[in-house]
Structures are given as structure tokens and as C-alpha cells.
Amino acid sequence: MDNFNGELVDILKSTILSMKHGKGLGLAANQVGISKRFFAIDLSYFDVVKEPIIIVNPEIAEISGSMIGEEGCLSFPGLFQEIERPEKTIITGLDIDGKEIAVEGKGLMARVLLHEIDHLDGKMFIDHLSSFKRSMIKGKLKKIKAGEEI
């Protein structure tokens, strides 16, 4: 995806609006039915003067450390679980203008960046849970699928 024409930029911008509407920290294209490799992340959550950004064709350039923290997902409203992830990461890709960027994340920001890349790779945050933990939340997952609140 390297032809950054008006239509593509409109799609990228609409993803930012969808993320903000859902009150998410990040949103991957495939979560909203777009079969392209990009995600939005709301940097204003981490620094109030920063704007949301798009990372197109993201790649993990570096990961280090380990942390366990609570994680949720717009795809599973109301469900939060403790997940282990790297503590730091650097993600490379292209910005909304097609220019190369590198985004460094620590703590929660690293979690969000890696969570969104997981979506693009077909992996959900619950896939990081043990089979025992997944069986423990089976009822909650059924309620979410049925559109019920958990």
C-alpha cells in the first residue's frame, strides 16, 4: 500500500474518527472491515498535545522487557484481562503522508502498538490467554457475541 491518493487518505482519516467514536486507544483497519495493513493510535492519550496517527504497513523493529497489565479491546466491549507483553517496542512504517516513521512505545503505549499489530496479523488479545483462562471467560464471550452487556 504505497499509493497515497485522496481515497486512501480519506479511509485512513475515517479510521481515526472511528477510533475516537469508539473511545479506543487504537484501531486496526481490519476491525472496521478494511482489508489494508494499517492502524490508528490516539497519541493524545499519552501526551495531550499529540494528535492521533496512522501507521501504514507497520513492522516490529524492536521489542524488549516484559510486563503484565490489563488489556481490553473494542472488539470485546467490557472485557478486560491481564496479558503479558513486551515493555518496550519500536514500530516502523509509513505515516498518513506516506513518509517513513518510527514510533517508540513504552508501557501502555507499547501494549497498544503491539495489540494493533496483533489485529493485523489475525490475532486477538484473548489469544494470549491460557486455555484455562479462556474457558473461564467463555460465558462473557458468549454475551458479547449476543450483543449483551457483561
SS3 72: strand
Q: How many other CB atoms are found less than 10 A from the CB of residue 101?
A: 16
Catalytic residue among 84, 116, 148, 149: 116
CA–CA dist 84, 11 (Å, integer): 32
Grid cell for residue 62: 524492536
Among this protein's residues, is 7 annotated catalytic? no
Catalytic residues: 116
